[in-house]
């Protein structure tokens, strides 16, 4: 039984079953998030975590490893009493999930644990494993009939990538739907857990000064930039088949785009919001050969210098072929052909090994006529509203005022409410909020299937274009802000990327 949106805390009791219990995600993100949820008293009393792993470990050894990880990655220092509470909830269950017979044993183990933990048969199955195992695990859950407990609910949490193109995503989705209904599937996009991403709707729909001018009459263009100094590090094997399109655009960036561009939903119910987001995707302009030729720039980093240190090019990274044509940078311009946005360009940019790590949305407003001021050679600085997602979190606004130091000068005044929060500081880290929402049964911050499908439809066309195009990679130096053509993309429209 699944009860839909925003369940009360009383039915949060559950066992969280983590497939990939010894993996990186569990160590770096999930367990530290659980620790902070215990600290903030946001976990139910009746709660257990079963970490499923292949490795031969005793439960004590496992807990010791988790202690070290929480100690290293938690935003709060470990407090003995809080750790004690968390470690009482954690159980290690050793089993190889490619062995289908093992699922029956896990099912019985969970049923027994219900008795001692008081978890009433409720389950969250979290797939923190490599994507090639998603279907295998869902199949194991299916044949052991683990997700169907009378009077209880089961939810599936699945990390990205959800498929590697539209076809594989559909196949995976169909498999999952044999076991879980759509409303019980939580497709994670960790960007949606970030404070400022959640703030987009609040800023837009709680401020008349913003919402009334949030359209093509007042806005000149919108820029979404997610840039990273980091290279692919040890993830070359994964990234080589993913590239920036699958790694960032198909999910994080498209999610941000829909939140910036959507119409106000009729209420805050999960499906009302998701439906408005979906409409944005439907309105994205058609991706024609001309669009691909004129509006898309791909890049790949060569060697360069970051923070004074030499770093290798993408093709020199571990597990990356020396002639790789995978893109580590994408810039594109697109239009959303609906009443609100017709004619307004959205410029999107993401890349690795760039000069700075930051995630920002810039709204550039239209200039006023240069009749009273800014005559002759003077340049009118535009009004800019910047939603700073990270590492600074907050809002920046630029507007023109008289220069008090001169008789008639005009200067842009910059108002910045943001503060530097390298780990998003003391605001809850993305996974804390996401795990909490999963337990509450609130799927608002997760992607619905039609959103994923529409995002793949756009991404597939761009990926196919990149694959059939002869690349002249590398085409930007590590430590730069990407290929020259990315700047030309805006320059030919008389615009530029803003760094404020
Ligand atoms: C992940 C990508 O989804 O997001 C990574 O797989 C990327 O390649 C990361 O580095 C960026 O996330 P964040 O939260 O560090 O901006």
113: in domain: yes
Q: How far is the CA of 104 from the centre of ligand 1 (A)?
A: 35
pLDDT band at 11 (very low <50, low <70, confident <90, very high): low
Backbone angles phi, psi at 252, to 5 degrees: -55, -50
228 CA closest ligand 1 atom index: 10
Check which CATH number belongs to the domain holding 428 and give it.
3.30.360.10
Residues 38/71, Cβ–Cβ less than 8 Å: no
**Which residue's C-alpha comes closest to atom 15 of ligand 1?**
228
Does residue 187 lie in a domain region? no
pLDDT at 165: 95
Domain limits at 428? 192-491
Q: What is the CATH number of the domain that holds 141?
A: 3.40.50.720
Same domain, 309 and 410: yes
Residue 348 domain-assigned (yes or no): yes
Q: Examine the domain organization and report whether 88 and 206 are in the same domain.
A: no
Residue nearest ligand 1's atom 5 by CA: 247
How close is the Cα of 78 to the center of ligand 1, in Å?
26
CA distance 269 to 219: 28
Reported pTM: 0.90
Q: Which of 29, 189, 191, 255 to mutate to test the pocket of ligand 1 (most atoms within 8 A of CB)?
A: 191
Given 135, 159, 183, the domain boundary residue is 159
Residues 6+ apart with CB under 8 A from 91: 48, 49, 50, 51, 59, 113
Q: Which residue's alpha carbon is at the smallest distance from atom 8 of ligand 1?
A: 247
pLDDT at residue 145 is higher than 70 = yes
Question: Is 226 in the same domain as 137?
Answer: no
- For the stretch 297-337, pLDDT in tens is 999 999 999 999 999 999 999 999 999 999 999 999 999 99
| pLDDT band for position 9 (cuts 50, 70, 90) | very low
Ligand 1: which residue has its CA nearest to atom 12? 191
Q: Report which of 5, 25, 4, 55 is spatially closest to residue 159, judged by C-alpha positions.
A: 25
Q: What residues act catalytically?
A: 252
Q: Are residues 111 and 201 in the same domain?
A: no
What pLDDT does residue 3 have? 39
In a domain, 402, yes or no: yes
Residue 397 has pLDDT above 50, yes or no: yes
Radius of gyration of the chain (CA): 24
Query: Which atom, in ligand 1's list, is nearest to the CA of 251?
Result: 3
Pocket of ligand 1, beta carbon within 6 A: 228, 247, 359
Residue 226 CA to ligand 1 centre (angstroms): 9
Q: How far is the CA of 39 from the centre of ligand 1 (A)?
A: 26
pLDDT at 308: 96
Specify the number of domains making up the chain.
Answer: 2
Q: Whose CA is nearest to atom 2 of ligand 1?
A: 247
Q: Is the peptide bond before 161 cis (omega within 30 degrees of 0)?
A: yes
User: Do 345 and 225 belong to one domain?
Assistant: yes
Q: Are residues 335 and 399 in the same domain?
A: yes
Q: Is residue 178 part of a domain?
A: no
In a domain, 500, yes or no: no
Residues 118 and 206 in one domain: no
Q: Report which of 21, 113, 28, 15 is spatially closest to residue 75, judged by C-alpha positions.
A: 28
CA of 64 to the centre of ligand 1 (A): 27
Gap from CA of 230 to ligand 1 centroid (Å): 10
3-state secondary structure of 56: coil
CA distance 351 to 453: 23
Same domain, 204 and 125: no
Ligand 1, pocket-test mutation among 194, 252, 255, most atoms within 8 A of CB? 252
pLDDT at 423: 61
Q: Which atom of ligand 1 sits closest to the CA of residue 357?
A: 16
Question: Which of 142, 159, 176 delimits the end of a domain?
Answer: 159
d(CA 326, CA 320) in angstroms, rounded, equals 9
For the stretch 151-179, pLDDT in tens is: 999 999 999 889 999 999 999 999 999 99
Tens digit of each residue's pLDDT (9 = 90 or more) over 68-108: 999 998 888 999 999 999 999 999 999 999 999 999 999 99
Last residue of a domain, one of 106, 137, 159: 159
- Residues 364, 316, single domain; the answer is yes
Q: Do residue 333 and residue 449 come from a single domain? A: yes
205 shares its domain with 249: yes
Structure confidence at residue 195 as a pLDDT band (50, 70, 90): confident
Residues 342, 236 within the same domain? yes
């Amino acid at each position: 039984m699944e009860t839909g949106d925003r369940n009360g805390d009383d039915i949060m009791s559950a066992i969280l079953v983590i497939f990939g219990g010894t993996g990186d995600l569990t160590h770096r993100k999930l367990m530290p998030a659980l620790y902070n949820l215990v600290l903030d008293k946001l976990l139910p009393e009746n709660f257990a975590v079963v970490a499923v792993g292949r490795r031969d470990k005793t439960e004590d050894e496992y807990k010791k490893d988790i202690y070290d990880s929480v100690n290293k990655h938690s935003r709060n220092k470990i407090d003995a009493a809080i750790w004690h509470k968390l470690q009482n909830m954690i159980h290690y269950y050793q089993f190889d999930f490619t062995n289908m017979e093992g699922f029956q044993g896990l099912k019985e183990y969970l049923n027994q644990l219900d008795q001692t933990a008081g978890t009433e048969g409720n389950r969250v199955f979290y797939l923190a494993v490599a994507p090639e195992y998603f279907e295998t695990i869902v199949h194991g859950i299916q044949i052991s009939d683990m997700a169907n407990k009378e009077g209880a609910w089961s939810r599936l949490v699945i990390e990205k990538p959800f498929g590697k193109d539209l076809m594989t995503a559909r196949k995976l989705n169909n498999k999952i739907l044999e076991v879980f209904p759509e409303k019980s599937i939580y497709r994670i996009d960790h960007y949606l857990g970030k404070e400022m991403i959640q703030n987009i709707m609040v800023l837009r729909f709680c401020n008349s000064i913003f919402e009334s001018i949030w359209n093509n009459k007042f806005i000149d263009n919108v820029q979404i930039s997610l840039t990273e100094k980091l290279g692919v590090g040890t993830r070359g094997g994964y990234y080589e088949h993913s590239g920036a399109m699958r790694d960032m655009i198909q999910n994080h960036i498209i999610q941000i785009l829909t939140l910036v561009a959507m119409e106000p939903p009729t209420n805050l119910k999960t499906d009302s919001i998701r439906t408005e987001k979906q409409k944005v995707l439907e309105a994205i302009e058609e991706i024609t050969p001309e669009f691909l030729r004129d509006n898309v720039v791909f890049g790949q980093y060569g060697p360069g210098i970051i923070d004074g240190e030499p770093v290798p090019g993408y093709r020199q990274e571990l597990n990356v072929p020396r002639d790789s044509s995978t893109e580590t940078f994408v810039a594109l311009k697109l239009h959303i052909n609906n009443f609100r946005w017709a004619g307004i360009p959205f410029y999107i940019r993401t890349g690795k090994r760039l000069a700075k790590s930051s995630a920002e949305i810039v709204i550039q407003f239209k200039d006023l006529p240069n009749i009273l001021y800014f005559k002759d050679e003077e340049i009118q600085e535009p009004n800019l509203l910047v939603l700073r997602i990270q590492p600074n979190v907050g809002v920046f606004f630029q507007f023109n005022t008289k220069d008090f130091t001169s008789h008639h000068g005009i200067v842009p005044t910059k108002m910045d409410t943001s503060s530097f929060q390298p780990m998003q500081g003391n605001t809850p880290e993305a996974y804390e909020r996401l795990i909490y929402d999963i337990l509450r049964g609130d799927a608002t911050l997760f992607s619905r299937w039609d959103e994923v499908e529409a995002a793949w439809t756009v991404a597939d066309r761009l990926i196919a274009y990149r694959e059939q195009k002869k690349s002249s990679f590398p085409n930007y130096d590590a430590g730069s802000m990407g290929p020259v053509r990315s700047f030309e993309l805006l320059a030919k429209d008389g615009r530029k990327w803003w760094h404020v």
